[in-house]
């Protein structure tokens, strides 16, 4: 065992990991991210989903098929997939990461997202990862872009370059919390621009964000990228809001 590994194991004993959901001390070498109680409250997305946007069909025995929204008007992205349902423990954890600046939790979640198997995504088909950008005013307020942290973890795992400067949010928008789908769509309209079209021309791109709510933001991003010359855009998010 090399010296660095010894120090790492020693630090786990002195500072044992805590469950990000409830702060319970975890066994330092059990490899757990959440305690058993919190883990039972986490809902991974599974079962039948829309082949494009990824919304679930909890009461449908059918396999994957298109939802009504995607049948009516296809989004600009090819796929949108998420790891978790945005509720309970995951909602709390993302809130700590995003608004309370708990970067250590963010790094844990980004590692989990990077290791997650997205069945519909063949990463060898993609040559670029772009995080959903924040407006410079919002970035200064928050101090970091949570989507970039997630994107970098996926990029490192899959050996795909990450570029956070190609897609810019040039229009400052009001927070979309509490807005309905139509309001979100209008609020985010024409909020993004591509800084260098040559670098995205003909590329298959993975767009990364923390939460998919109505899809308005990621679809506007995908629209901007496609119109600037990208060949294909797929969306990966840590969590997704489902209407019950």
Instruction: List, for residues 196-205, the tens digit of each pLDDT value.
Output: 999 999 999 9
Question: 214: burial class by Cβ within 10 Å (0-12, 13-18, 19+)?
Answer: buried
Q: Determine the pLDDT at residue 216.
A: 94
CA–CA gap between residue 119 and residue 135 (Å, rounded) = 32
Percent of the chain with pLDDT over 70: 90
Identify the residue whose tokens are 């702060």.
Answer: 23
Q: Determine the pLDDT at residue 174.
A: 73
Provide the 3-class DSSP secondary structure of residue 155: helix
Domain boundaries, the chain: 1-40, 42-240
Closest C-alpha among 213, 208, 147 to residue 177: 213
Q: Determine the pLDDT at residue 25.
A: 86
Provide the 3-class DSSP secondary structure of residue 77: coil
Q: Is 217 left (phi over 0), alpha (psi -120 to 50) or beta?
A: alpha
CA–CA gap between residue 79 and residue 166 (Å, rounded) = 21
CA–CA gap between residue 58 and residue 115 (Å, rounded) = 25
**Bridge-based pairing state of the strands 192-194 and 167-169:** antiparallel
Q: What is the pTM of this model?
A: 0.89
Q: Determine the pLDDT at residue 61.
A: 67
Looking at the DSSP bridge assignments, the partners of residue 193 are: 168
CATH code, residues 42-240: 3.40.50
Q: Provide block-wise average pLDDT over 10 residues at a time, the chain (244 residues).
A: 44 64 74 84 89 86 86 96 94 93 91 92 97 94 95 98 96 77 86 96 98 95 98 97 74
Tokens of 97: 């990461």
Longest distance between any two alpha carbons in the chain, whole Å: 59
């Amino acid at each position: 065992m090399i010296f660095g590994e010894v120090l790492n194991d020693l630090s786990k004993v002195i500072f044992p990991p805590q469950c990000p959901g409830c702060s319970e001390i975890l066994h330092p070498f059990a490899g757990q991210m959440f305690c058993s109680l919190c883990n039972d409250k986490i809902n991974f997305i599974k079962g039948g989903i829309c082949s494009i946007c990824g919304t679930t069909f909890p009461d449908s025995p059918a396999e994957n098929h298109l939802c009504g929204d995607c049948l009516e008007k296809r989004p600009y992205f090819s796929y949108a997939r998420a790891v978790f349902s945005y509720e309970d423990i995951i909602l709390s954890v993302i809130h700590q990461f995003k608004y309370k600046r708990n970067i250590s939790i963010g790094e844990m979640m980004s590692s989990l997202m990077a290791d997650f198997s997205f069945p519909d995504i063949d990463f060898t088909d993609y040559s670029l990862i772009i995080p959903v950008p924040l407006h410079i005013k919002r970035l200064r307020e928050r101090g970091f872009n949570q989507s970039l942290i997630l994107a970098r973890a996926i990029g490192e795992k899959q050996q795909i370059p990450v570029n956070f400067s190609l897609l810019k949010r040039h229009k400052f928008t009001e927070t979309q919390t509490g807005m309905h789908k139509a309001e979100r769509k209008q609020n985010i309209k024409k909020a993004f621009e591509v800084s260098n079209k040559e670098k995205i021309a003909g590329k298959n791109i993975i767009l990364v964000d923390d939460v998919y709510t109505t899809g308005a933001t990621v679809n506007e991003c995908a629209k901007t990228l496609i119109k600037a010359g990208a060949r294909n855009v797929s969306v990966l998010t840590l969590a997704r809001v489902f209407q019950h």
